[in-house]
Structure 1
């Protein structure tokens, strides 16, 4: 079943890359994958689910990191998220073609961009709740909400720019090196932005 699902994804991503997400029907995806349209919908509830099939693992791993944070006593959630982003960059080191296609397809479709923003909002809320559990005083004035969006945005923006760089023709090695540096720079700015506070203090 997984082999068939991946065949649908590969066929769809090729078509979407060539013609645009909004210009390809599920019937065309089915034909390209050698399955019926009913089979496509047996595996994917909506057409956009096909595009996000592989990237959904990125969303799930952030959720898992936040849920499992208590397995790392003494390590602030903010540091766990920094490490997570570095790991996600390394995972993308081996999927440059997939990353290029995903970035180009989602950037060209308002429907897919809305889906991506919903995922960002969901992650930001999870980070906010984790921050509030660690530091209830961050709830004053909505600071935890703001920090949640900042931290989730660093994660998403870094991986999005990685995809954009590959799409522009930057080598995957160079793009990943730049992404790693951007993550560290982002957290360095967070540290200095909070004056005498450090990431470990939050």
Structure 2
């Protein structure tokens, strides 16, 4: 159980991230400095860096949750449920509740615009994908119920989810109806995980005309 210091640290971290995100939404990511975030949050720059290694992490403060969600899906599944099914169910549940990590939350478009407009944030996301992949592979490798290729499965899962999320982000920024986007997101998730479990069947191309 976390102690009071841990809870206080979590509150401070969340407060700093909230203040930073507000500033980024107001002025843009590149036009806000760490010093300005610290001043607005009422803390020192040292305190900011004690909680966030990089400026990009202030905006992406929820991403560490992804690692624990992925690990928990594998670790806490029932013995008769495979890891692919468990991860699929977890991601579908996030989509159903419009969780922020599914990019289906209401009103998330301004946040997404900041992300896609900042090359350093995109670069941080790519690094984080690798971190999630490594963590998931470690969890699979340590699970005695799983006898497959942990690194390969983790790579496939992360790549598949990236494809689904990128398509969803594009539609959200394109102004499509959120209910339609959510339905398509869930459908594509199912197709992606079907492909991981059963392989991709391609329709044969029609013969070329003479």
| TM exceeding 0.5 | yes
1:108 equivalent in structure 2: 117
1:6 equivalent in structure 2: 14
Alignment gaps of 5+ in structure 2: 1-7, 202-210
CA distance in structure 1 between the partners assigned to 2:136 and 2:13 by the alignment: 31
Task: Pick from 56, 65, 72 the counterpart of residue 64 of structure 2.
Answer: 56
Q: Which has the higher contact order (CA 8 A, sep 6+)?
A: 1
Per-residue deviation at 1:176?
1.6
Task: Pick from 153, 160, 165 the counterpart of residue 171 of structure 2.
Answer: 165
2:106 equivalent in structure 1: 96
CA distance in structure 2 between the partners assigned to 1:105 and 1:159 by the alignment: 16
Alignment gaps of 5+ in structure 1: 196-202
Per-residue deviation at 1:191?
5.0
CA distance in structure 2 between the partners assigned to 1:38 and 1:125 by the alignment: 29
How many residues get paired?
Answer: 187
2:160 equivalent in structure 1: 154
8 Å contact 1:58–1:88 — kept in the other structure?
no
8 Å contact 1:103–1:164 — kept in the other structure?
no
Report Cα offsets for 1:108-167 as digits up to 9, x if no partner.
23322232222222333344452796564x55xxxx544432212222332343333333
8 Å contact 2:67–2:136 — kept in the other structure?
no
Please state whether the residue corresponding to 1:89 is helix, strand or coil: helix
Per-residue deviation at 1:54?
2.0
- RMSD (CA atoms): 3.1
2:87 equivalent in structure 1: 81
Per-residue deviation at 1:4?
4.6
CA distance in structure 2 between the partners assigned to 1:29 and 1:171 by the alignment: 34
1:46 equivalent in structure 2: 54
Please state whether the residue corresponding to 2:98 is helix, strand or coil: helix
CA distance in structure 1 between the partners assigned to 2:136 and 2:53 by the alignment: 28
